[in-house]
Structure 1
Amino acid sequence: MLKVLNPHDRNQPFPPVESALEDPNGLLAIGGCLSVRRLVNAYRHGIFPWYSVGEPILWWSPNPRLVLEPEGFNLSRTLRRSLRREEFQFSCDRAFEGVLHACSEPRAYAQGTWLTPEMKRAYVEMHRQGYAHSVEAWQGDELVGGLYGVAIGQMFFGESMFHRVDNASKAALAFACAAMAHWGYRLIDCQVHTPHLMSLGAREIARAEFVTLLGRHRDAKVDPSAWKDCRVAWL
């Protein structure tokens, strides 16, 4: 039976991730709140929220887990040429809410969005408190792609990405991986299998291995000021 979380207790522990359901894969708990304290506790234990408008908050820890080492990004020749031609300019945390809004827009292949207004408010507050970050791809003054996620220790928990021109989200992820490798991040959590991310170098690992890596890296130190000046030699 799923554990029902108390929406008024931000410190309530989550059940062990090993108790998550097999079908649907990884569903662990229901309810609670989206306070920064609860969200940080969730990410520190390999758990993330994912639900749609009209549903209660659902908490997940799937098995297997999709991960990407920052040094392991698969940079194709086409994308490398695009980057060398400087078709995009990049920034970090310059337009967090713009990236969040773009990621919440309906996709052609799906109905609705999982980024509910409540979720968006929660991640904006996470950003204000220094946990959530964005990487942006620009063409001139136009925001054409990007991604956002949560950084804890040497872990980055990727949440969503978007593009408005071809290759913009891939370019943003390539830049993010190069920057994070430079800053000392060890692992990017991509959550669940997608062919797109697999083609870019992500791989699946058992949840138990993910939890072990999480325990190793979540308390390590990364200079938080790196996100304020993300200019790195990355190609």
Structure 2
Amino acid sequence: MQKKRHHLPIALLDDSLSFPDVEEATEEGLLAIGGDLSTERLLLAYRSGIFPWFNEDSLILWWSPDPRMVLYPEKVKVSKSMKKVIRDDQFRLTKNAYFERVIDSCAKMDRKGQEGTWITPMMKSAYLRLHELGHAKSYEVWQDDILVGGLYGIDLGHVFCGESMFSTVSNASKFAFIHLANDLNKKGYCLIDCQVYTRHLESLGAEKMARNEFIEILQLRPNQENIK
């Protein structure tokens, strides 16, 4: 028999650096409202299985969905057509060299069923700070010296928390994601956190994981060499 989830009032965060237990999240995954986007709070959030996601005219919303969408790096799916794209050197890859351009491109992307962007100026500033401190990283995809795709996320040393990706030509974001997964696999990472389900992520090998299992993996000791 499935345990019925109780509904507590959504927590309103203050200046104290803490979050409610993730089990208090709603069925949609909403856990708390308010607080700030300080580096300390953001790192605490990601290490606790929580991430911010809100529109420009909204208070800060903090989420911890159950189940979680994740990818084991060694399970990334590479289609025959993508193997040909990689083999034919259709794209060139750089890593962590143009972070701000990637986040700007992600913010400008038109997405189905979504008005505006959740990558607000406040979010951008917060993630640029994380990047400067070595916690946020990007992959950039080029074609004829034009930036045509990429992704960025938070690197915890054993889990990479994917935040957003963009593509202006076919297969560019897949190219970045596949290279990310292969690199993380070589470094012994446990997971790529993809947050919530999309068909695109599922086609690349992502799968659903119970939140409590995801939290257990987050609590494993990260490899300090990986987060330098």
Q: 1:77 maps to which residue? A: 80
- CA RMSD for the aligned pairs? 1.1
Deviation at 1:63, TM superposition (A): 0.5
CA drift of 1:163 comes to 0.3
The CA distance in 1 between the partners of 2:121 and 2:30, in whole Å, is 22
Aligned residues: 219
- Normalising by structure 1, we get a TM-score of 0.90
* Structure 1 residue corresponding to 2:25, chosen from 12, 20, 32: 20
For structure 2, which runs of at least 5 residues remain unmatched after alignment? 1-8
Correspondence 1:55 to 2:58 = yes
Aligned to 2:13: 5
CA distance in 1, matches of 2:109, 2:185: 31
How far is 1:214 from its partner?
Answer: 1.2
Query: Post-superposition shift, 1:106?
Result: 4.1
CA contact (8 A) 1:185 1:222 kept: no
- The answer for the alignment partner of 1:129 in structure 2 is 133
CA distance in 2, matches of 1:220, 1:173: 21
TM-score norm. by structure 2 comes to 0.93
Identity of aligned residues (%): 47
Trace 1:48-197 onto structure 2 (pairs within 5 A). Answer: 48-109=51-112, 110-197=114-201
Q: Is contact 1:20-1:61 (8 Å) kept?
A: yes
Aligned equivalents of 1:129, 1:94: Cα separation in 2? 14
Return 194-203 or 182-191, whichever deviates more.
182-191
| Structure 1: segments with no counterpart, 5+ residues | 226-235
Separation (CA, whole Å) in 2 of partners of 1:106 and 1:192: 18
Residue of 8, 29, 34 corresponding to 1:31: 34
Amino acid at match of 1:49: P
Please say which of residues 134-143 and 61-70 is displaced more in the overlay: 134-143
Measure how far apart 1:128 and its partner are: 0.4
Shift of 1:220: 3.3
Residue 137 of structure 1 aligns to a residue in which SS? strand
1:149-204 deviation per Cα after TM superposition (whole angstroms, max 9, x unaligned): 00012110000000011000000101111111112222000000101100110000
Work out whether residues 157 and 226 of structure 2, in 8 Å CA contact, stay in contact via their aligned partners in 1: no
Tell me the SS of whatever aligns to 2:194. Answer: strand
Say whether residues 1:202 and 2:210 are aligned partners.
no
Return the alpha-carbon distance in structure 2 between the equivalents of residues 221 and 204 of structure 1.
27
Once the two structures are superposed, residues 111-160 of structure 1 have per-residue CA deviations (whole angstroms, 9 ceiling, x without a partner) of 10010110000000000011000001111311110000000121100000
